[in-house]
Amino acid sequence: MGERLEALETVPFAAEREWTVEGVPALSAAVQVPEPVGKDRTARRIKRFYQLQCRSFLRYCERCLLPQAAAEYRTALEASRPLPSFRAELSYHVTYNQGGLWSVWTQVRESLGPGPALVTRRGDTWDLAEGYPVPLKDFFPAGTAWKKRLLAHAEEEARRRERAGAGRWREDWRRELRRRFNPQNFYLTEEGLTYFWPMYAIAPAAEGVPVFVLPYGEGGLTHPSGGEDCS
């Protein structure tokens, strides 16, 4: 029986694509996703997962963003305006990699003309021994009202930021905080469990992707090492 995999070694897999309209570049896409170095079952599964994400992103660009870019190109041409050039990027950042857990966020950034870029983030936390993602509830003791505690912590932190002038929220942010909560939107860091809401869900564009951190040992959150706290 092999040794338990404590961490995952990865390298970036990068790709570039460009689409033209009447021979003029109208949309470009850049991809960077993690690629495991090993060839064991877990490494192969994770590699397939992010290669699929890469292909899905490029299909999305071609099927959804390219028609928008083509329409903007033709409108600009008819109005004798400068021709637009749109860009979409898929990137990643490994946030935790020890104790048999590997956590990462991947993010799509769409720059489609004037106005703020649209940012879409997802988080994944993998159990390297099993080769599958770990659900959020598994980081809390059985029977814990973990959703209630995460929402309460986020609301308290949002109010603190607002009082300090460090955050702006939508008028209906408290309702949307609960309505738009997604237990898949999380990843681990050294500081704690990081969970987030989609851009625009609870805050204006200037706030980007709203992120909150529940420190280990608070709200029943156990540390990935098995203890309650790392301090």
What are phi and psi for residue 126, nearest 5 degrees?
Answer: -105, 140
Question: How far, in Å, CA of 29 to CA of 86, rounded?
Answer: 9
How confident is the model at residue 5, as a pLDDT?
85
Tokens for 188, please give them: 């681990």
Of 3.10.620, 3.90.320, 1.10.1060, 3.90.640, which CATH number belongs to 136-215? 3.90.640
Angle at 228 between CA 225 and CA 230, to 5 degrees: 65
Question: How far, in Å, CA of 92 to CA of 108, rounded?
Answer: 9
Report yes or no: 7 and 42 within 8 Å, Cβ to Cβ. Answer: no
Helices (H), the chain: 41-60, 66-78, 146-163, 173-179
How confident is the model at residue 222, as a pLDDT?
86
Question: Given a cut of 70, is residue 227 above it in pLDDT?
Answer: no
103-153 per-position pLDDT tens digit? 999 999 999 877 899 999 999 999 999 999 999 999 999 999 999 999 999
* Span 161-183, average pLDDT: 95
Q: Is this model's pTM higher than 0.75 or not?
A: yes
For the chain, domain boundaries: 10-133, 136-215
8-38 per-position pLDDT tens digit? 999 999 999 999 999 999 999 999 999 999 8
Confidence of residue 229 (pLDDT cuts 50, 70, 90): very low
CATH of domain 10-133: 3.30.565.40
Confidence of residue 226 (pLDDT cuts 50, 70, 90): low
Please, is 101 exposed, middle or buried when counting C-beta atoms within 10 Å of its C-beta (0-12, 13-18, 19+)?
A: buried
